[in-house]
């Protein structure tokens, strides 16, 4: 079963280890993996700034990844989506899809947002596929938008609106409950 739990102080080291892992860093839209100081700055902000909220993704009661919403306090009722499943063992088993449903429920039901959007590297097939399945639409394509690891990368802008989530949520939740990845 997949669960989201709010990030706590005890997650500081775990989130650093995950974020700098090459299999996660490769797909992040920051230019480079943070050093420890920058991570601490980011982590303290995550815990203190109401504009951003973060959750640890748990699978079978083990922490396996991270999900965040940024921009919650702005006037536009939208947030930027960030996520990864850090544990290689947990990837490709539906954990991301289940965590995504939980995160979108928080975004649209708990926070009452109008829109959730994301920047995804154009060659990130797993993220594009997973997010497309939850109703994210492709809204833009930014050529050579990111300079990372010595070269430029194209970035896709994805977005999903509250009414679109409302149309999809019941079907997605039911499918994940049926496969045991979520509980009602
Ligand atoms: C993107 C990510 C969060 C998806 O989580 P996950 O648990 O691996 O994905 P799921 O098992 O839920 O699968 C979701 C979809 O992606 C597909 N997928 C998974 N791994 C894939 C891969 N390596 N290549 C292509 N498609 C892949 C699955 O087939 C599934 O599609 P389907 O529902 O049509 O079958 C995870 O792969 C990850 O953390 N990747 C590294 C970091 C990252 O890219 N973060 C997102 C930055 S925008």
Output the pLDDT for position 184: 82
122-159 confidence digits (pLDDT tens): 999 999 999 999 999 999 999 999 999 899 999 999 99
- Mean pLDDT, rounded, for 20-47: 94
69-102 confidence digits (pLDDT tens): 999 998 999 999 999 999 888 999 999 999 999 9
Average pLDDT for the chain: 96
As for how many domains the chain has, the answer is 1
- Distance of CA 109 from the midpoint of ligand 1 (Å): 24
Residue pair 16/36 in contact by the 8 Å Cβ criterion: yes
Q: Specify the residue with its C-alpha closest to ligand 1, atom 16.
A: 126
- The domain that holds 29 is classified in CATH as 3.40.630.30
- Mean pLDDT, rounded, for 51-60: 97
- Starting at the earlier edge strand, list the strands of the sheet with 2-6: 2-6, 52-59, 62-70, 78-85, 115-121, 151-161, 137-148
| Assigned domain for 31 exists | yes
Query: Where residue 55 falls among pLDDT bands split at 50, 70, 90?
Result: very high
Q: Within 10 A of 38 (CB to CB), how many other CB atoms are there?
A: 13
Cβ of 85 less than 6 Å from ligand 1 = yes
Would you state the structure tokens that stand for residue 49, as one six-digit string?
């700034």
Output the pLDDT for position 30: 85
Output the pLDDT for position 31: 76
| Assigned domain for 72 exists | yes
Output the pLDDT for position 7: 98
Cβ of 126 less than 6 Å from ligand 1 = yes
| Assigned domain for 184 exists | no
Output the pLDDT for position 82: 97
- Mean pLDDT, rounded, for 106-130: 97
DSSP-based three-state secondary structure for 62: strand
Q: Within 10 A of 129 (CB to CB), how many other CB atoms are there?
A: 11
Q: How far apart are CA 125 and CA 141, in angstroms?
A: 15
Q: How far apart are CA 166 and CA 160, in angstroms?
A: 10
| Assigned domain for 183 exists | no
- Which one of 33, 130, 159 would you pick to mutate in the ligand 1 pocket, going by the greatest count of ligand atoms within 8 A of its CB? 130
| Assigned domain for 34 exists | yes
DSSP summary character for residue 10: G
| Assigned domain for 81 exists | yes
Between β-strands 115-121 and 137-148, what pairing exists: parallel, antiparallel or unpaired? unpaired
Name the residue range of residue 139's domain.
Answer: 2-178
Q: Specify the residue with its C-alpha closest to ligand 1, atom 15.
A: 130
Query: Where residue 67 falls among pLDDT bands split at 50, 70, 90?
Result: very high
């Amino acid at each position: 079963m997949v669960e989201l739990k709010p990030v706590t102080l005890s997650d500081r080291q775990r989130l650093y280890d995950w974020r700098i892992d090459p299999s996660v860093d490769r797909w992040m839209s920051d230019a480079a993996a943070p050093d420890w100081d920058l991570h601490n700055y980011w982590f303290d902000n995550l815990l203190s700034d109401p504009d951003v909220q973060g959750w640890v993704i748990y699978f079978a009661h083990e922490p396996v990844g991270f999900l965040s919403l940024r921009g919650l306090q702005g006037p536009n009722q939208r947030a930027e989506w960030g996520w990864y499943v850090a544990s290689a063992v947990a990837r490709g088993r539906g954990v991301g899809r289940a965590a995504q449903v939980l995160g979108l429920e928080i975004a649209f039901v708990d926070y009452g947002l109008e829109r959730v959007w994301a920047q995804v590297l154009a060659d990130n097939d797993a993220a594009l596929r997973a997010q497309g399945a939850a109703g994210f639409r492709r809204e833009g394509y930014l050529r050579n938008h990111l300079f990372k690891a010595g070269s430029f990368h194209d970035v896709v802008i994805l977005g999903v609106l509250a009414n679109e989530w409302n149309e999809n949520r019941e079907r997605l939740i039911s499918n994940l409950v049926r496969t045991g990845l979520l509980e009602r």
